[in-house]
């Protein structure tokens, strides 16, 4: 993952531990004060939320412990690899798009970050400027030409 992705997960972990979990503990205590727990929807909702927060905390801790952090600004080269910003020309629509290839936990297509394990990223890996790639995406088959590769 990138240093930015690592920091985002660390921030999420901090929020889960320091904000969300204490709040749900307070919610459980408040719901307990309402009496009979067997028919107390607030209590059951809060307990479910506590379980989800605990599971997400463990998942984020695991991701951070296994992460290999790679700073794309320290990379260079002429081929597509993890961390690269890749400018692509869609050969069907003539539209130019740019994506950064990142780890799965930090991917977000809405801001142009695609997972290294996505079909498009897998098709781009080890390619150079000028190469054409054809890839099968959920939206159908697409063909792209690599216009630019940069690391920043």
Q: Which domains does the chain have, with CATH numbers?
A: 3-66 (1.10.287.180), 72-150 (3.10.50.30)
DSSP 111: G
- Structural element, H or E, at residue 92: none
Q: What are 66-115's pLDDT values in tens digits?
A: 999 999 989 888 999 999 999 999 998 999 999 999 999 999 999 999 99
Q: Are 147 and 88 in contact (CB under 8 A)?
A: yes
> What percent of the chain stands above pLDDT 90?
84
CA–CA gap between residue 22 and residue 9 (Å, rounded): 19
pTM equals: 0.79
């Amino acid at each position: 993952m990138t240093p930015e992705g690592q920091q985002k997960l660390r921030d999420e972990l901090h929020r889960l531990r320091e904000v969300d979990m204490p709040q749900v503990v307070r919610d459980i205590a408040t719901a307990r004060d309402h009496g009979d727990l067997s028919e107390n929807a607030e209590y059951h909702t809060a307990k479910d939320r506590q379980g989800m927060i605990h599971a997400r905390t463990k998942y984020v801790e695991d991701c951070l412990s296994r992460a290999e952090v790679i700073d794309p600004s320290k990379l260079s080269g002429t081929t597509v690899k993890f961390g690269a910003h890749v400018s692509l020309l869609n050969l069907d629509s003539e539209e130019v798009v740019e994506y950064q290839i990142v780890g799965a936990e930090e991917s977000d297509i809405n801001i142009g970050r695609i997972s290294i394990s996505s079909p498009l990223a897998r098709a781009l890996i080890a390619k150079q400027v000028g190469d054409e790639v054809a890839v099968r995406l959920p939206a159908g088959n697409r063909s792209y030409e690599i216009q630019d590769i940069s690391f920043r």
